[in-house]
């Protein structure tokens, strides 16, 4: 059995996460038992939610245990199997964590599934045709439920979720406006992802300036909003909402280091009769097949061409996450192992 390099959570962060919160170790991979498979990971997923799980605080999932392999999504290949449902060479997606190999018991629900990389690149199963893509699909179709001609907005517009949100919303004939950081990302949003407009938050650092930019980008105001960031940008969005608008609360990355994120205009939720709903996509597994079918179709047709930021080697995973939290990535952040 191969030697396995792994990234562990070494300590919980105080404020911003740092490289010394992680530790790279090597261990011996245990021999397979009946029913198990050995997976060699090709890519590791890097996602914003990981920062929240580094804290020892109440949330929708248990905190990442200190001293254990850092948990996260993986895609790879079965290289040995003692399970009749899997054979060497099968491509699979699962939650193998930040390590080069994982020993998996596929009988456990949700830990492993086969995927087809003949038309969809294997890495996409951690992005556009994986959890981030389904996250965008669920928020748009099940919470915002847009009508043709409505204006919908998204923060973190060029990330893994935001990139997919744009393609899904344009397929429903919406006006789609993004918020991203810097002219390069905003150009990418409008020229490649299909956004009708993109507001650069780095050029609009307060509510008044952001509100003015949103007024220009959203002349008919906002009917649906997909929130990934929080803070003053959400305050500015609130000022542009139409009556009976819908807000999807997916992430609050501005507060992942532990600082509070007060809302400046909560009364607008009442006066505009706003629906605000948070969700966790893993609680809606019954809808994943429908979502994945649409997302696969968009990729195969060329209507969804997601961009990826790729770090090389398992030792790069911590810095990839720290960079993601500072918006250094374009599209889905991945770590490539082979």
pLDDT number for residue 61: 78
Residue ranges of the chain whose pLDDT lies below 70? none
Per-residue buried b or exposed e for 149-159, using 16+ beta carbons within 10 Å of the residue's own CB: ebbbbbbbbbb
Instruction: Tell me, rounded to whole angstroms, the distance of Cα 236 from its chain centroid.
Output: 23
Closest CA to 83 of 104, 55, 62, 100: 104
Question: For residue 50, what are its two tokens?
Answer: 């990981």
Orientation angle between helical segments 207-217 and 232-239, nearest 10 degrees: 50
Q: Which pLDDT tens digit goes with each residue over 130-182?
A: 999 999 999 999 999 999 999 999 999 999 999 999 999 999 999 999 999 99
Question: For residue 72, what are its two tokens?
Answer: 């996260």
Q: Which pLDDT tens digit goes with each residue over 71-116?
A: 999 999 999 999 999 999 999 999 999 999 999 999 888 889 999 9
Question: For residue 224, what are its two tokens?
Answer: 């649906």
Q: Which are the contacts of 126, defined by CB distance < 8 A and separation ≥ 6?
A: 43, 45, 73, 74, 75, 93, 132, 332, 334
Residue 29 DSSP symbol: P
- How far apart, in Å, do the first and last CA atoms of the chain sit? 18
Domains of the chain in start order, with CATH, are 3-127+306-336 (3.90.180.10), 131-282 (3.40.50.720)
The C-alpha atoms of residue 280 and residue 286 are separated, in whole angstroms, by 13
């Amino acid at each position: 059995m191969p030697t396995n390099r792994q990234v562990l959570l070494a300590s919980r962060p105080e404020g911003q996460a740092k490289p010394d919160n992680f530790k790279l170790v090597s261990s011996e991979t245990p021999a397979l038992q009946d029913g198990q498979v050995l997976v060699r990971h090709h890519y590791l997923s890097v996602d914003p939610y990981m920062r929240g799980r580094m804290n020892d605080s109440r949330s929708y999932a248990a905190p990442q245990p200190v001293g254990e392999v850092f948990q996260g999504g993986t895609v790879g290949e079965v290289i040995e199997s003692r399970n009749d449902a899997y054979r060497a060479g099968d491509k699979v997606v699962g939650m193998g964590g930040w390590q080069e190999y994982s020993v998996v018991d596929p009988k456990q629900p949700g830990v492993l599934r086969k995927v087809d990389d003949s038309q969809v690149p294997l890495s996409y199963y951690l992005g556009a045709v994986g959890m981030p893509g389904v996250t965008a699909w669920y928020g748009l179709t099940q919470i915002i439920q847009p009508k043709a001609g409505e204006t919908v907005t998204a923060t973190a517009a060029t990330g893994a979720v935001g990139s997919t949100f744009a393609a899904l919303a344009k397929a429903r004939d919406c006006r789609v406006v993004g918020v991203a950081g810097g002219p390069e990302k905003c150009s990418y949003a409008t020229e490649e992802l299909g956004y009708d407009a993109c507001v650069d938050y780095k050029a609009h650092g307060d509510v008044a300036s952001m509100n003015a930019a949103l007024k220009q980008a959203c002349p008919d105001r906002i009917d649906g909003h997909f929130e990934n960031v929080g803070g003053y940008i959400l305050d500015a969005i609130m000022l542009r909402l139409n009556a009976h608008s819908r807000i999807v609360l997916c992430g609050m990355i501005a507060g992942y280091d532990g600082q509070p994120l007060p809302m400046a205009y909560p009364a607008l939720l009442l006066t505009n009769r706003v629906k605000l709903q948070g969700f966790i996509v893993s609680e809606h597994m019954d809808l994943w097949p429908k979502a994945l079918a649409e997302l696969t179709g968009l990729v195969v047709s060329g209507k969804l061409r997601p961009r990826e930021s790729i770090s090389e080697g398992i030792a790069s995973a911590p810095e990839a996450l720290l960079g993601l939290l500072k918006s250094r990535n374009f599209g889905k952040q991945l770590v490539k192992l082979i």
